Structure 1
């Protein structure tokens, strides 16, 4: 791990988001394993919310995909890792409220929670399966998230 990745790991433990992520993973009976760069991959998440194929709480990345498949898509993993960094620089739990505000603003502007969301844009819209409505691709312009 780089010093920055170690700092993110420590920050997300101290700001309580990684412990929260571990509790959610355990409560949802997800299979946890060590991921790269100080991340924890939790596979087989089956709760109804959120609807995403993958999402992050601290340094824990929760996937709907089963163990052995979860974390293998390096592009999606990189997107979720950037959310982990966002938890660290937002000092942990405030990220959840800030993300909610950004998702609401995106809904008002674009009709979906991702395309105009600062945090999703910073993490990489395409990497997270979102359509950039400012630069739609021929594959579609629905602005919906692609399930992993």
Structure 2
């Protein structure tokens, strides 16, 4: 494992985000497996929330799917970027910041991910999200068509 993933793994344990992710995986009935770059893959998560196909808490990537789902495209790279965001936000402050970002994105374009800076920095398309234009741009486009 390279230096940064090792450092990220330590930071996310110390800032308590990985222990939180492990607790969420236990409560959600997920099976934990070692993943690349110090990630823990928690597959078979049973709760319908959050609605994303996969989500990350600390270094724990949780999904209701199996490991084949996580192997699609660049999804694990996307989730690894979220693990880095947990380290950069010093752990638990990531939760309110992410929730605030969901609200901002919804206000801007009616979608929870498209204008969420955390999702944009993790590369939207790698997480199977679409880029959507802001509401005001769509209104002006349709007004110009009239």
Task: Check the 8 A contact 1:43/1:70 in 2, yes or no.
Answer: no
Offset from partner CA, 1:99-129 (integer Å, 9 cap, x none):
1111100000000110001000000111111
Establish whether residue 91 from structure 1 lines up as the match of residue 87 from structure 2. Answer: no
Corresponding residue number in structure 1 for 2:2: 2
Corresponding residue number in structure 1 for 2:72: 73
- SS in structure 2 opposite 1:49? coil
Offset from partner CA, 1:56-88 (integer Å, 9 cap, x none):
00000001113x424322511110110000000
Corresponding residue number in structure 2 for 1:82: 81
Distance 1:69 1:32 in 2: 14
TM-score, reference length from structure 1: 0.86
Structure 1 residues not aligned, in runs of 5+: 135-148
Distance 1:3 1:78 in 2: 16
Establish whether residue 124 from structure 1 lines up as the match of residue 123 from structure 2. Answer: yes
Corresponding residue number in structure 2 for 1:23: 23
Task: Check the 8 A contact 1:64/1:70 in 2, yes or no.
Answer: no
- SS in structure 1 opposite 2:56? strand
Corresponding residue number in structure 2 for 1:111: 110
- SS in structure 2 opposite 1:127? helix
Task: Give the greater-gyration-radius structure (CA).
Answer: 2
| Larger helix fraction of residues | 2
Task: Check the 8 A contact 2:40/2:59 in 1, yes or no.
Answer: yes
- SS in structure 1 opposite 2:32? strand
TM-score, reference length from structure 2: 0.87
TM-align CA RMSD: 1.1
